[in-house]
Amino acid sequence: MMRITRQICFTLVVVLILGACSVSGVFAAEHTVGSSGAEFTNIQTAINWALPGDTIIVRSGLYAERVRIDKPIILLGTDSGGGAPFIDPQYEGAAIEILADGCTVKGFEIHNSNLFGGIHIASNGNTVADNIIKNNALGISFSSADKNSLTGNTITDSTSAGIALEDSKDNLIENNRILDNTVGITLDESSRRTHIYHNTFSNNQNVLSKSATSEWESPVVMAYTYLGRKIDSQMGNYWGDYHGKDVNGDGIGDTPYVVLISGIQNPWLSTNQDVLDLFPLIDPKDSYHDISPTLEPGIVKLPVVPTPVVTIFSVGTPIPRTPTASVTATPVPVSTLPAIILPSLDHLPWIPALLGVFALFAIGGVLIIYKRMKGSRRPSPDTQSSHPFTIPELSASGATITTPATTVPVAEDPDEAVSGQKIYFPKDLESKYTGIRYVGRGGVAHVFAAHRKTDDKLVAVKIPISFDEITGKCFLNEIAAWEKLRHLNILEILAVNILPVPYVEMEYVAGSLDAVEKPIPVWKAVHIINSIADALQYAHTRGIVHRDIKPHNILLTPDFVPKITDWGMSKIIATEVNKSSIGGFSLSYAAPEQVSPADFGRTDARTDIYQLGVVFYELVTGSIPFGGDSIVEVGNAIVREKPIPPSEYNPEAAIVEKIILKCLEKDPADRYQSAADLSEALAGYLDEDEGV
């Protein structure tokens, strides 16, 4: 009898442990959904089959269904070769409904919910991240949903609102892109203490809010990199209708963005109820890098905000921001931050509650063992069924990917594609580099991106187009000038050799000023031009003049730091479509002394200043100062015509107009005589009293 009792006790303990483990997620399972080779072909079937705490991984494909999540699970979309899995509810309702607490939905593309939402949240403590939600009535909607986290989503083309909150509290909305919706975000009066920051809003109307208690900037000071500078500041949101300036270049607007609180104004109060984004971002969030908190957890640095006077503002109206002191405030209450919501047993007598927990563990343990054993003996009910709306998995290019035996040829040059010629990376250099791909062509060289085998560093490798005497001389001239230069705003040469073949290894920078949509804000153009001028001054003091400054030769890092490339190269081949190149320079950006040296003298450092003036003109107007239908017309305009004042294209350019026109003087003696002089003028470009 004693032995049987021991066995029963031992079995009960095991069952209790297994039940506890099942609740804690130790035995959580992982399921797959896909068009073939997966457990399920239907997302909802997988959810119905799953247990709380399970993870469901959905592969690439089209899923024409509505998804209802009624248990705490993790639903992950993964790109298995055909892009993010695509959920289309066929105009029958919300694509995904989250009804259980503690769920995660990540990595999906959701379209066409018509009169419904892409994702509807009616529960607490959930995470919705990195989804693309497009062409719905509502992108993501909250209804009596608290302490949820919305981050990294792109929400576009919603006919009603990108994000809508109704009676929802303490939610976090961070680092989302809300674009081209009728309204970006709506909040009713009952939606309180919502934390909304680091988002990009660019919509017909960005905000429609009745919530006076929401926060529109980060609760702590953040460290980040902007335009190549490391800065500490709180950060708000980017607003497409914000028109403030950024004099100090920290990426934060100098005046707040006003979030108009509609429908609850009290005319008898001495103040209105509008709230402010005190730290509006000048650029979309993607322009800010390496963002991290600067303070210890729980320490919040907030400005002392003066109470605004009664004024009628429209949404997005900038108002002066009074300089404020920073103070150390009390820690942010945990209750204001998203968290997993767990049921409370505080209101139950402790003995019945304890017995209930033990019973739950025991039942849960028996059920989990039974279901796992049962599931292991038979296939999932959906395994052999076919889904009429799924599509086969494809590679990224829509076809089967094959790996070539060698890295050459690596690409086709568009200029040579007609003749069927290929661009070949020298086989003799394959021992040094891997992951080689063609990225562009200069005057006498092809440029490849590659990873060094020694340290896997991504670099650019420049190879002469041909190995004749003229090309070789131009290539060596460029190396001789460029190799001496070490400056933040000059593309760095990392290695040079003529063996086994002539090549130059350089810092790799993917973007260029040529690809930037123009015009750009005047203040941003000033920062870029000032950085380039500083690099030119550095080169000029070392006896090196570029002579071909143009947007194509100014690369841009992800931090928007300009870097001058192609130093000292004699341009032999016209490489730019619809732009002429003569005598080693591009005519559209040529100085008068390059077009007519007999009239204006020889080129020198002031030639670079003229060309930088052309670039400056183009950045703030979107147009080059001199054009024409032929080389002769362009050349005549450069040496004889006066440029149209930039302010006639862009009134905001008036403040830098004198600087630009001085750079563009025909006679080099009338220009700034050094790049340092130009930088000095740019330093005071907003001080109208100084006559800038």
Which helix or strand (DSSP H or E) is residue 375 part of? helix 350-377
Which pLDDT value is given to residue 244? 85
Which pLDDT value is given to residue 475? 63
Distance between alpha carbon 690 and the CA centroid of its chain, in Å?
38
pLDDT at 196 over 50: yes
Contact 683, 531 (CB under 8 A): no
Cα–Cα distance measured from residue 523 to residue 286, given in angstroms and rounded to the nearest whole number = 18
CA-wise closest residue to 434 among 411, 461, 414: 461
Q: Which residues contact 658 (CB under 8 A, 6 or more apart)?
A: 691, 692
Cα–Cα distance measured from residue 683 to residue 529, given in angstroms and rounded to the nearest whole number = 11
pLDDT at 690 over 50: no
| Structure-token pair, residue 303 | 């400005």
Which pLDDT value is given to residue 266? 38
Orientation angle between helical segments 605-621 and 675-683, nearest 10 degrees:
30
Cα three-residue angle 352-356-358, rounded to 5 degrees? 120
Which pLDDT value is given to residue 151? 96
Cα–Cα distance measured from residue 307 to residue 389, given in angstroms and rounded to the nearest whole number = 57
Contact 141, 185 (CB under 8 A): no
Distance between alpha carbon 181 and the CA centroid of its chain, in Å?
19
pLDDT in tens, 224-276: 988 878 899 999 999 988 988 888 888 999 999 988 765 443 333 334 456 88
Cα–Cα distance measured from residue 159 to residue 115, given in angstroms and rounded to the nearest whole number = 9
Say how many C-beta atoms besides its own lie within 10 A of residue 147's C-beta.
Answer: 22
Q: Tell me, what amino acid is at 360? A: L
Which pLDDT value is given to residue 42? 93
Cα–Cα distance measured from residue 582 to residue 565, given in angstroms and rounded to the nearest whole number = 19
pLDDT at 306 over 70: no
pLDDT at 689 over 70: no
Residue 339, exposed/middle/buried by CB under 10 A (0-12, 13-18, 19+)? middle
Q: Give the chain's mean pLDDT.
A: 75
Strands of 511-512's sheet, edge to edge? Answer: 511-512, 554-556, 562-564
Cα–Cα distance measured from residue 677 to residue 212, given in angstroms and rounded to the nearest whole number = 50
Which pLDDT value is given to residue 606? 94
Which pLDDT value is given to residue 365? 52
- When comparing pLDDT for 403 and 318, which is higher? 318
Phi, psi of 239, deg, nearest 5: -120, 125
Which pLDDT value is given to residue 234? 92
Q: Which residues contact 113 (CB under 8 A, 6 or more apart)?
A: 89, 91, 93, 94, 95, 135, 136, 137, 138
Cα–Cα distance measured from residue 139 to residue 241, given in angstroms and rounded to the nearest whole number = 21
* pLDDT band (50, 70, 90) for residue 343: very low
CA-wise closest residue to 87 among 67, 72, 71: 67
| Structure-token pair, residue 137 | 């009535």
Cα–Cα distance measured from residue 281 to residue 240, given in angstroms and rounded to the nearest whole number = 10
- When comparing pLDDT for 496 and 401, which is higher? 496
- When comparing pLDDT for 308 and 532, which is higher? 532
pLDDT at 20 over 60: no
Cα–Cα distance measured from residue 108 to residue 62, given in angstroms and rounded to the nearest whole number = 11
| Structure-token pair, residue 616 | 């400056």
Tokens 């003066």 belong to: 306
Pairing state of beta strands 581-582 and 585-586? Answer: antiparallel
Q: Which residues pair with 497 in a beta bridge?
A: 503
Q: Which residues pair with 127 in a beta bridge?
A: 104, 149
| Structure-token pair, residue 93 | 């309702």
Cα–Cα distance measured from residue 559 to residue 585, given in angstroms and rounded to the nearest whole number = 28
Which helix or strand (DSSP H or E) is residue 473 part of? helix 469-482
The secondary structure of 205-263, three-state, reads EEEEECCCCCECCCCCCEEEEECCEEEEECCCCEECCCCCCCCCCCCECCCCEEECECC
Q: Which residues contact 408 (CB under 8 A, 6 or more apart)?
A: 422, 424, 425, 427, 430, 436
Contact 109, 132 (CB under 8 A): yes
pLDDT at 164 over 70: yes
* pLDDT band (50, 70, 90) for residue 71: very high
Cα–Cα distance measured from residue 118 to residue 127, given in angstroms and rounded to the nearest whole number = 15
pLDDT in tens, 456-499: 999 999 887 765 555 556 666 666 767 778 899 999 888 887 77
Share of the chain residues as helix, strand and coil, in percent rounded to the nearest 5: 25, 25, 50
pLDDT at 114 over 90: no
Contact 656, 526 (CB under 8 A): yes
Say how many C-beta atoms besides its own lie within 10 A of residue 343's C-beta.
Answer: 5
Q: Tell me, what amino acid is at 12? A: L
Identity of the highest mean pLDDT range in 39-53, 285-299, 406-420, 567-581: 39-53
Say how many CA atoms lie within 13 Å of 413 toward its Cβ: 18
Ranges 240-254, 330-344, 630-644: which has the least confidence:
330-344
pLDDT at 301 over 90: no
Domains recognised in the chain with CATH numbers: 25-336 (2.160.20), 427-507 (3.30.200.20), 512-690 (1.10.510.10)
pLDDT at 12 over 60: no
pLDDT in tens, 502-550: 888 889 988 889 888 899 999 889 999 999 999 999 999 988 888 889 9
Mean pLDDT along residues 425-436: 86
Ranges 212-226, 428-442, 648-662: which has the least confidence:
428-442
Cα–Cα distance measured from residue 581 to residue 441, given in angstroms and rounded to the nearest whole number = 14
Phi-psi region of 512 (alpha: psi -120 to 50; beta: other; left: phi over 0): beta
Contact 168, 144 (CB under 8 A): yes
pLDDT at 8 over 70: no
Which pLDDT value is given to residue 537? 94
Cα–Cα distance measured from residue 95 to residue 115, given in angstroms and rounded to the nearest whole number = 11
